[in-house]
Amino acid sequence: MEQPEQPQIYLITPPEIELSSFPDRLARVLDAHPVACVRLALATRDEDRLARAGDALREVTHARDVALVISEHLMMVERLGLDGVHLLDGARTVRHARKELGEEAIVGSFCGTSRHDGMSAGESGADYISFGPVQASALGDGSFVKAELFQWWSEVIEVPVVAEGALDAAMVAALAPFTDFFGIGDEIWAQDDPASALGALRGAFS
């Protein structure tokens, strides 16, 4: 993914989805707003459920010319005709993923709050680095990425950066000058009207 002029939306699916309804919800959001990429980020380790979800979401995203990547499951990318993989282990498997998937695939790396991991993943060939959460929350050990990391990254590093986790309108507005993508998931899917919720967040940086 190339560095955009202003931040773009990178949608993240909920950890659990209903295949009877979620593809339609996703379609409505994609039809309402420009989205650069969607990440299939299910908690399940069930191969069949992942495959069915991948097939259903690929139909929605590719019909709208939106890239679809999957969290972790490298072997599912080619099998399901997806655009790439989102790795959760910093820089550790970036080179392997790139070798397996080739130069055309998207290989992204979540690096938590670690600048060092982000730099290492970028040097290993990641297409983007993701940091988060962006403010204190009850998730994980409570650590979060300070805005200074995004500011420094935008000035020094060329690899695109994603801000994700615990986003709200105030954080979106604060980080908009320094991030290339906002990774938005629970922030909108927990709402009755995800498209309107995304519109409110987009309004904070446009």
Asked if 162 and 4 count as a contact pair (C-beta separation under 8 A), the reply is no
Whole domain around residue 74: which residue ranges? 8-203
Q: pTM for this structure?
A: 0.96
Asked if 197 and 25 count as a contact pair (C-beta separation under 8 A), the reply is no
* Residue 197 CB partners (closer than 8 Å, separation 6+): 187, 188, 191
Whole-angstrom distance, CA of residue 39 vs CA of residue 62: 13
The tens digit of pLDDT for each residue in 128-173 reads 999 999 998 877 788 999 999 999 999 999 999 999 999 999 999 9
1, part of any domain: no
Q: What is the dihedral of CA 89, 184, 24, 33, to 10 degrees?
A: -130
2, part of any domain: no
The tens digit of pLDDT for each residue in 23-78 reads 999 999 999 999 999 999 999 999 999 999 999 999 999 999 999 999 999 999 99
182, part of any domain: yes
What is the helix (H) or strand (E) element at residue 188, kind and residue range? Answer: helix 186-189
Number of domains in the chain: 1
Whole-angstrom distance, CA of residue 75 vs CA of residue 66: 21
User: For residue 77, what is the domain's CATH number?
Assistant: 3.20.20.70
